[in-house]
Structure 1
Amino acid sequence: MPTDKDTIHLGACKVTFDINGTPLVLDSTKGGVKFMYEETTKELNRDQTGDTPVDEVVIGRKVSLEVPMTRKDLEALALVLPGSEKVGTARVDVYANKVISLLDYAKTVTVEPLAENTTDDDMITIYNAAPRAKLNYTYDYNNELVTDVTFKGYPDADGKLVGFGDPTAV
């Protein structure tokens, strides 16, 4: 039986965005990686019970992962800015005149805690997540340059949204 000590984990994590078998590993962050899961529900009512619900059903689920990455290189930037284009090795261009589907950029994202006692059971996998970046750089001596990337989850072809635990379990 696990003790309280065994079920409490602190610390940083490593996020991997799997781009067609080529992983982008985001293991340098500042401010904490935040995972959010939210359900939307609908209360079911009957005339006979007035405003008292007789049931409530889940009608939707949303999942997202906020990653404040400090890794600043053009390769990583091109991968987290959907619709951008890497020009040679020295520039990333972002176009304002392109309308793009984020689903076209959705790939598997995994969160792997780095605390000493964590196992594969502590991992989180978003099966189909697309990046959306927010760049707000402050150039001074007291701040790191942080690129805020939010991975928004979408159901995969089988309808799976998120998995908690060992991603290799069968």
Structure 2
Amino acid sequence: MPTDKDTVHIGPCKVTFDIGGDTPFVIDKTAGPVKFTYEETTKEIKVTQTGDTPIDEIVIGRNVMAEVPMTRRDLDALLLVIPGSEKVGDARVDVYANKVVSLLDYANTVTIEPLSEKATTDDTITIYNAAPRAKLNYTYDYNNEQITDVTFKGYPDADGKLVGFGDPTAV
């Protein structure tokens, strides 16, 4: 039986972005917390007979995202988290202002796995179809890490699944 202290979860995690192929993109070094957010939007159902008192409320939307303050900033990493960017040879990544990009084209599975020694697969969060959006925050001095803030926003997959909590291999 779990004790009160067993229900408190703290510590870092690793984030895996399945980019297809044999080698996923793993973010295992961050500067600051990784934040997962799940939100519901609802619609209250009202009828004239009860005035402003709702008689029901239905969920009309769900949004998920993971915010990851990534410390890695090599060209290959930037190419993966800036949708629509292009690598020029081995020396540069170009981003175009006049390129319209569908984020869904860059969406794939994102898994968040806590690294605590007491973490289990029950603690895993899987966003089934998430696309990256990057915000670069580079401060050039001795006191600040150069951070690439990546937000993975979830979209429903082909089956309508958005997010899973627990063992991603369960059937």
TM over 0.5, yes or no? yes
Q: Does 2:20 correspond to 1:20?
A: yes
CA distance in 1, matches of 2:83, 2:116: 31
| Offset of residue 159 of structure 1 | 0.2
| Offset of residue 152 of structure 1 | 0.3
CA distance in 2, matches of 1:162, 1:90: 37
CA distance in 1, matches of 2:145, 2:30: 10
What is residue 44 of structure 1 aligned with on the other side? 45
Cα shift readout 1:136-166 (whole Å, capped 9, x = no counterpart): 2100000000000000000000000000000
CA distance in 1, matches of 2:55, 2:2: 38
What is residue 148 of structure 2 aligned with on the other side? 147
| Offset of residue 72 of structure 1 | 1.4
TM value normalised by structure 2: 0.98
Which residues in structure 2 correspond to 1:123-142 (within 5 Å)? Answer: 123-142=124-143
What is residue 35 of structure 1 aligned with on the other side? 36
CA distance in 1, matches of 2:32, 2:14: 13
CA distance in 1, matches of 2:137, 2:70: 12
CA distance in 1, matches of 2:67, 2:73: 16
| Offset of residue 2 of structure 1 | 1.1
What is residue 3 of structure 1 aligned with on the other side? 3
What is residue 121 of structure 2 aligned with on the other side? 120
Helix, strand or coil for the counterpart of 1:31?
Answer: coil
CA distance in 2, matches of 1:90, 1:118: 40
| Offset of residue 6 of structure 1 | 1.8
CA distance in 2, matches of 1:151, 1:166: 20
Gaps of 5+ in 1: none
Gaps of 5+ in 2: none
Helix, strand or coil for the counterpart of 2:39?
Answer: strand
- Measured on the aligned residues, the alpha-carbon RMSD in Å equals 0.7
CA distance in 2, matches of 1:9, 1:152: 23
Q: Given residue 77 of structure 1, which amino acid in structure 2 is its aligned partner?
A: L
Cα shift readout 1:12-43 (whole Å, capped 9, x = no counterpart): 00000000133100011011000000000000
Matched residues, percent identical? Answer: 80
What is residue 99 of structure 2 aligned with on the other side? 98
TM value normalised by structure 1: 0.98
| Offset of residue 57 of structure 1 | 0.3
CA distance in 1, matches of 2:88, 2:13: 31
Task: Kindly report structure 1 stretches of 4+ aligned residues shifted beyond 2 Å.
Answer: none
CA distance in 2, matches of 1:26, 1:77: 12
Task: Tell me the matched-pair count.
Answer: 170
CA distance in 1, matches of 2:53, 2:98: 50
